[in-house]
Amino acid sequence: MAGTTLEEVIGMKKICSLAFKALRLTDKPYHVEETRSSSEIFISFQGSWSVNEWFAGNPFGETKIDLQLFPSLRSIGNDEAALVNEAFLNKFKAILGSSSLENEVQKAVTNKKKIVFTGHSSGAPIAILAALWALDKYRNPNTSQIPLLCVTFGSPLVGDRIFSHAMRREKWSDYFINFVTRYDIVPRILLAPLSSIQQNLEPILQFLNPQSQNFKNEFIGRSNETWNFYFTVMKNAATITSHAACNLMHSTNLLVETISNFIELSPYRPFGTYIFITENSKLILLKNPDAVLQLLFYSSQLSNGAEGAQVAYRSLQNHLSYETELQGSNVVYLDQLEKLPLSTEGSDGSINTALNDLGMSTRARLCLRAAGELEMQKTRNQDKIDKRINDVEKALSDLKDYKEVCEGKKVGYYDAFKLQNDEKDFRSNVRRLELAGIWDEIVEMLKRYELPDEFEGRKGWIEIGTKFRRLVEPLDISNYYRHLKNEDTGAYMKKARPKRYRYTQRWLEHAGRMPTGACSESTFWAEVEELSIKTNNNRLFEDVKKDVVQLEKELEKWIHDKVLSKDVFVKGSTFVKWWKTLPPQHQSGSCIKRFIEY
């Protein structure tokens, strides 16, 4: 786990220099530089030093991510958009819309150059958003990912847990490396609400501004302001990490729920790879976001005998000293968190030394272990589900055979199941219910984020989920309308569609970069039933004509693409019966006529 040299992986010192170089820019928001071999291009972003460029409103300044620019930054099945710092997002969008950044990136992609985004302090979130924008813009399900890296130094937090979840699902986390010195306060600032730090934030930001040297000299004596700021941030960090730790350990203490009900906690969470720089310039690498949150708090605790004011001032100096602090060559990896030693007498000397260098107490180590154990539990949950894939395949195979039997008898799959006149119909219903149980279990785990973040991006489960949806949802729709007593309570799509189908449809659409609703073929029969109800209730055809024409176009495409079979058109099917009630002039001009005649 130890001994890998950072210099052999990437030239971090050069990147750090470029990040600091951008801080001195006065005429443009970013700096572009190429290597001599022209195989890489570096884009470093300028920081901001006013409060309104860190917080856009109270208390934490978060907003939903712009899914037009960042379509991947969401939970797919749960359909939740990530939250992101609004001030940083607005600044990135302003740069994207008013500079040549997009052209620079496009040129690098065309020339197949590796793009390295970087930034220090509040320039780092802009670099992160730029990298994510590029990853999403040039993401193609049929090609490899563009060569890209984002390296930050002393970055404030940017997004929430869904932000981190989406990046792990897309397997983008390894593209982001965040350096943090042990006491640097900036990566912890957004754990505190603006109202608690607003009085001292402006002078703190001016002290961190590299272009305000005179202010730095004046600020040195203002120890009370520095200590109050540091103490307030860390007090809020303590609340958040304690709450998170209780969740990691599945605490049943009602106080945990009470805290979240009465105290608004920061939504921001770490993501990507973190490299903590100790006071003796050792580099400690950690990828688990839950563990990073704990480390951000516990690593910045006061050392024995240290005075608060001294540590508070050091926290500001640490933020400005990455160029000198980044001297270490060996990286210690904290990867098997569930096995971390709880005392200084651990079995692995390098790991124990690293934890001691970060000031990890026994409680801190327990929190790191809990984060590792949660990750292991998610993997065990996934393994449990993977073992059931054969059951799913067998049940789907049986339903496919049933469908072929129905088609062989010139009875539509949908209508045969709706009639329930045969023993095979009953057995197929049993299979439907077995599959519903398996998939509902998966959905519940996804709702509670109890599976690895990568699960919804796994090709095998996307494929089997699509098979399941296309084969089984028509049976659910058939069963629903078979038992429908009052036509006014219809609307399967709005009132009764199970989450197991919504989730699997979103998986396929996301994987194929398709718009929402592009894969709605499995709900075809629900649309037919609803249109049938509307036209049978003496509703004028002109009122539903637009919907009918749209359905016909989609049906023709689905038949052509073989995602729907031609048993839709067998004599006496629900679709044919309904379609023949439409006005003759519409039937004669419809693209569907030739299929029905077939």
List residues with catalytic annotation: 121, 184, 319
**Pair 149, 115: CB distance under 8 Å:** yes
Round to whole Å and give the CA distance between 3 and 383: 32
| Contact status, residue 331 vs residue 2, Cβ threshold 8 Å | yes
Q: What is the DSSP letter of 288?
A: -
- Is 509 exposed, middle or buried, given 0-12, 13-18 or 19+ CB atoms closer than 10 A? middle
Question: What does the alpha-carbon distance between residue 417 and residue 477 come to, in Å, rounded to a whole number?
Answer: 10
User: Quick check: 380 and 455 in contact, CB under 8 A?
Assistant: no
> DSSP 3-state assignment of 4?
strand
399-402 long-range CB contacts below 8 Å, 24 or more apart?
A: 399/428, 399/431, 399/432, 399/471, 399/472, 399/475, 400/471, 402/427, 402/428, 402/431
Could you tell me which of 156, 88, 150 has the C-alpha nearest to residue 118? 150
DSSP string, 358-387: TT--HHHHHHHHHHHHHHHHHHHHHHHHHT
Helix axes 194-208, 308-319, angle to 10 degrees: 60
Q: Look at residue 34 and give its three-state secondary structure.
A: strand
SS3 (DSSP) at 117: strand
Q: Do the bridges between strand 40-45 and strand 30-34 make them parallel or antiparallel, or are there none, so unpaired?
A: antiparallel
DSSP letters along 251-281, please? ---HHHHHHHHHSPPP--B--SEEEEEPTT-
How many other C-beta atoms lie within 10 A of the C-beta of residue 487? 14
Matching residue, tokens 């176009």: 553
Is residue 468 within 8 A of residue 392, CB to CB? The reply is yes
Do residues 319 and 184 lie in contact, with contact meaning Cβ atoms separated by under 8 Å?
yes
